[in-house]
Amino acid sequence: MDFEQPIWNSKVVERPETEYPVFLSAVYEHLETNIPRSLMGFSDALWPAETPLFPRHSAVQTYIERYAQDVLPLIHFATQVRAVQRTPHGAWSVTTLDLRTTQQRESTYDAVVVASGHHAAPRVPPVPGLAAWAAAHPRSITHSKWYRSPAPFRGRKVAVIGAGPSGLDIARALAAVCAPPLLLSAAPGSGAAAATQDARIAVVPPLTRADAAARTLHFGGARAEAGVDAVVLCTGYAYTAAFLAGLEPAPVAGGRRVAHAYRQVFYAAGPTLAFVALARRVVPFPLAEAQAAVLARVYAGRLALPAAAEMERWEGEELRRKGDSARFHDLPFPEDARYINEFVDWAAEALPRDGLENGGRGKMALRWGEKEFWMRARLAAIKAAFVSKGEDRVHVKTVEELGFVFEDASNEKDKVDKTQTGGP
């Protein structure tokens, strides 16, 4: 499904307990990961043994906070970046706003790494009649960005648009309380197949038209549902970075993707500006760690980047392969696993330096082996088995408890690669 420019942006709200504006996250009450903790952690930080196989969002937050302990004194909290601009000498001027004091500050840095994520500006599908519906029935349409719990949807006729991880997760939660069946609008080839096993959920074609007067939604031209009370859009997000608006060439324009980012990391026009974790459909923590290992070595002068023209040439080849859309950043398995290993190998090319840990090599990310490939290939099945445990799933700590046992799979990676590339 293609999208127009985002028409909803991140909301800033006043929180009495903080007494300064905060930006809403996309985290909802019952959110748990769709990646097992045994695959998603950082290489040098184990999860507590009592953590469920698929942790709740609160456990993930605690994990990150513990991992950040040694750098906490360097972090400026409640601070908004307003602008990042090049200086005449090739450095970066960063303008920030302290949300507690409203004081603005300008600082200069040799390098800037943008690691702000891509779940800030919701995308709204350009479905005919949807805007009129929103105007005629205020608060009847929301986005997963602002969804928090199923409680407000109890007894109402609900449609969830989009069957990605959030769409499926929210659909399952709403199906337990809304008027049956919950309508889950999904494009062909999406992850909606798992939802068809739930009798409370009706999977319908993509949304094509909304009739506000009759509160009727039309799906794929073949099905219409009247009397719909609420619509939850799980339709993804635009890539945004308003603080980079003054740069030329523009790294973020139109919301579709981040441009001029060599290997999805280095800004070709000035590679001391870089991005981390832009990719979608990936295992983000180990991927970001592998990117950080390369970044640190490049900025320490231990690795060299190609010329700007070569970096732009890489982007042109990727555009021909993937197109100029958000799919540019998609790295579905096994691409994400290969990408991680490519960056680990790239970081390993740096020459040792006295004073660094690990025999002068510095901190390294974990290179994925057979077991990681094996588990990554089975994520959907492992998650489905976990969800099937209902409330008891919080006691599941390993994939083995769900019947997934890694055995001698010396050719597992090769088998996956050949399958994905059409090999025998």
Please write the tens of the pLDDT for every residue from 80-114: 999 999 999 999 999 999 999 999 999 999 999 99
What are the beta bridge partners of residue 84?
94
Q: What is the pLDDT of residues 300-311, one digit of tens each?
A: 999 999 999 999
Number of domains in the chain: 2
**In terms of domains, do 85 and 38 share one?**
yes
Domain residues for the domain of 203 are 124-235
DSSP per residue, 167-195: HHHHHHHHHTTSSSSEEEE--TTSGGGGG
**In terms of domains, do 286 and 311 share one?**
yes
Residue that the structure tokens 């062909």 belong to = 188
CB atoms < 10 A from the CB of 273, how many?
A: 22
Model pLDDT, residue 194 = 66
**In terms of domains, do 300 and 254 share one?**
yes
**In terms of domains, do 128 and 101 share one?**
no
Q: Is the pLDDT of residue 12 over 50?
A: no
Is 297 inside a domain boundary? yes
Is 70 inside a domain boundary? yes
**Cα 175 to Cα 172: distance, rounded to the nearest angstrom:** 5
**Cα 237 to Cα 255: distance, rounded to the nearest angstrom:** 8
Q: Which of 235, 255, 287 is the last residue of a domain?
A: 235
Q: Please list, in sequence order, all residues whose beta carbon lies within 8 angstroms of the beta carbon of residue 72, skipping any fewer than 6 positions away.
A: none
Return the minimum-mean-pLDDT range out of 11-25, 225-239, 286-300, 348-362.
11-25
**In terms of domains, do 131 and 22 share one?**
no
**In terms of domains, do 168 and 56 share one?**
no
CB atoms < 10 A from the CB of 345, how many?
A: 12
On the 0-12 / 13-18 / 19+ scale of CB atoms within 10 A, 304 is exposed
**In terms of domains, do 231 and 243 share one?**
no
Q: Is the pLDDT of residue 334 over 50?
A: yes
DSSP state of 258: B
**In terms of domains, do 197 and 225 share one?**
yes
Is 424 inside a domain boundary? no
pLDDT tier at 73, thresholds 50, 70, 90 = very high
**In terms of domains, do 155 and 207 share one?**
yes
Return the minimum-mean-pLDDT range out of 9-18, 75-84, 105-114.
9-18
**Cα 86 to Cα 248: distance, rounded to the nearest angstrom:** 10
pLDDT tier at 29, thresholds 50, 70, 90 = very high
On the 0-12 / 13-18 / 19+ scale of CB atoms within 10 A, 405 is exposed
Is 21 inside a domain boundary? yes
pLDDT tier at 390, thresholds 50, 70, 90 = very high
Is 1 inside a domain boundary? no
**In terms of domains, do 32 and 107 share one?**
yes
**In terms of domains, do 393 and 255 share one?**
yes
**In terms of domains, do 107 and 218 share one?**
no
Angle at 60 between CA 335 and CA 327, to 5 degrees: 30
Q: Is the pLDDT of residue 377 over 90?
A: yes
Q: Which residue has the higher pLDDT, 295 or 325?
A: 295
- With contact defined as beta carbons under 8 Å apart, do 3 and 123 qualify? yes
- With contact defined as beta carbons under 8 Å apart, do 254 and 262 qualify? no
Q: What is the mean pLDDT of the chain?
A: 90
Q: 273: domain CATH number?
A: 3.50.50.60
On the 0-12 / 13-18 / 19+ scale of CB atoms within 10 A, 77 is exposed
DSSP state of 47: P
